[in-house]
Structure 1
Amino acid sequence: MTDSASPDSARLDELEMRVVHQDQTIEELNEAITAQWKLIDRLERQVQHLAERVADAEQSAGQAAPVDRPPPHY
């Protein structure tokens, strides 16, 4: 009986090791996705802030008096 149990036991051990490895990989991937999501969220806020600043600058530039400057080729 020990001969037939030994291959099953080895197979079970291998499957358990795979499950542990997969759980660890899933946890690492989850941490990576969470970190990327936080970075994307922060970058989206920065882009929104910069877009607002550009819009404000464009609006205030339209209201400002034109500046008499020589063309760039001088």
Structure 2
Amino acid sequence: MSEALEERIAHLVRAVDDLSDVVTRQGREIDRMTRLIAMLAEREAEREAGSGEAPAANARPPHW
């Protein structure tokens, strides 16, 4: 019985380690995407400010 418990614990420890690696990797990816979104938002704000025109969402369609 003791050997079966040790084997089960070993499998559970491995699963926890694997999940920890996945969470760590996902955290890094989320951080990278957050930085990218902030950079893109800043770039878009600069583009809108530099154009002097209304953003396309606020501009009237050409057929008006």
With structure 2 as the length reference, what TM-score do the two structures score? 0.80
Query: Which runs of no fewer than 5 residues in structure 2 stay unpaired?
Result: 54-61
Match of 2:15 in 1: 25
Runs (4+) off by over 6 Å:
none
Percentage of matched positions with identical amino acids:
36
Aligned Cα RMSD in Å?
A: 1.3
Q: Which has the higher helix share?
A: 1
Larger Rg: 1
* Cα distance in structure 2, aligned partners of 1:15 and 1:45: 45
Alignment of structure 1 residues 33-72 onto 2, 5 Å: 33-62=23-52, 71=62
Q: For 1:37, give the aligned amino acid.
A: G
3-state DSSP class of the match of 2:52?
A: helix
Total equivalences in the alignment: 55
Query: Which runs of no fewer than 5 residues in structure 1 stay unpaired?
Result: 1-10, 64-70
Q: Which has the higher contact order (CA 8 A, sep 6+)?
A: 2
Q: For 1:22, give the aligned amino acid.
A: L
Q: For 2:44, give the aligned amino acid.
A: V
Q: For 1:32, give the aligned amino acid.
A: V
Cα offset, 1:62, TM superposition: 1.4
